[in-house]
A and B are shown apart, each in its own frame.
Chain A
Amino acid sequence: MQGLPTVFLIVTFNFFLLHLAPGDPASVMAGEAGAATPEYMAQLRAQFGLDQPLLMQYLRYVWNVLTLDFGYSFRYQESNLSLIMGRMGATLLLAGSSILLSVGLGTLLGLIAAMRRDRIEAALILLVTVLAYASPIFWLGLMFIVIFAIQLGWVPTSGMTTAGGAGAGAAHWLDVAHHLILPAITLSLFYMALYTRLMRASVLENLRMNYVTTARAKGVAPRRLVLRHVLRNAVLPIVTMAGVQVGGALGGSVVVEAVFGWPGLGQLAFEALFARDLNLLLGILTLSSVVVVLANLLVDLVHSIIDPRVALS
């Protein structure tokens, strides 16, 4: 995927969305938070050139995004960019750890399900994937809270840090990790199920291939055969899929953040939604899409490292 044109198209798309909303764009952007003073409206009109022809408005909108100007939030008394950047870290931590978790566990479980295909392990793994595939993640999160936070008391029910602070440095990060466990697992389960199925199918397909027969005939030990030869080839579809997951994880984190009170972009989007602050909402959408584009570039890079036949485009 060529990154820059995609970002450009997304920005164009957002511009149309802004004009699709009923009403005067200035009042749509200002929201209904009671913050829309006449001065603020005038400022919005000037900043986005709303009194000028549509084409000029569009060019100005693109220019604003290119110069990372996403407007100013009246509610928070802060620029939208710094609001978004302030929350981006928490979301990337949540989405990133859940992607690593789902890729790692999915690869492992898929491998086991393929190698022990006629045993009870494989049946159990398939049962778990089928259930994880069908569960709404927000509900899973709530049920995990009931079991692991309320009943067992193993992990906190919500938030990212203990109120009052758990200390600085390592103590702080341990505290964050403790809060991260449940939301990260919740967000990872759906894709873990997907990777398990993909990996299982991929390993089974590779085991039938000629190179495996050849290696076996040459006396390569079974364990080495799987780890050195099959795994490397079978993992390719997973890497491709992981690129798709980035968008899914960023979107899914909205629900998971709402369930676990995780102070990330999703929560911000939610607050913006209820304040009807469309400008902030579109800023979040644009920057999240940029993250997806960057992640896809990264996936292409990883792909070309694992599989030298793939040329970087």
Chain B
Amino acid sequence: MKFSVYRYNPEKDAAPYMQDYEVKLEATDKMLLDAIVRLKEQDDTLAFRRSCREGVCGSDAMNINGRNGLACTTAVKDLSEPVELRPLPGLPVIRDLIVDMSQFFKQYHSIKPYLINDTPPPEKERLQSPEDREELDGLYECILCACCSTACPSFWWNPDKFVGPAGLLAAYRFLADTRDQATSERLDNLEDPYRLFRCHTIMNCVDVCPKGLNPTLAIGKIKEMMVRRAV
């Protein structure tokens, strides 16, 4: 199988370049990650992140043939050759396919991704009705792989100011949680031309999400909450 891989080692290379590889796959190499691991056997200078290899940890997010996705959940048979592998767009490259995710996590932390409730916790747990719990479906499953935010032009332009689809999905996850008491503060935190309203609903995030989530829908619901609060 033919590959064209983005290579960049800032300690040695003056500029990034694409390197071609040809890898002989075994019958058990079903997913792209298997192929990349095979590729690393051939050239151990290639750097990439991986961990769980089953689409749960979000480590091996990369740009595959021009589209963000997880290498471990992308089937080799679905890829056209040469398979072009690049790091996630819009984030600083540390080396080869590894990007610096600090900015992404900074935005995630800025929305306070944890339950805020000042009342004393009950003996067992804070309960929700099944209907209230249902609203959290499609929100809590996010694995923070950054495929969505790094596919978003608004995030490319303003990564320091726009929260990005992943962060906003998480923001709505807590806005939608009936156990959370900081709804108004959370909305105040997002009521900003940059933080929330840089989203122009182009839906690249929905298109690439490897978990099939819909950040655009969540962003729409945040806007709806703001309208309900304001009018």
Q: Do A and B share a complex? A: no
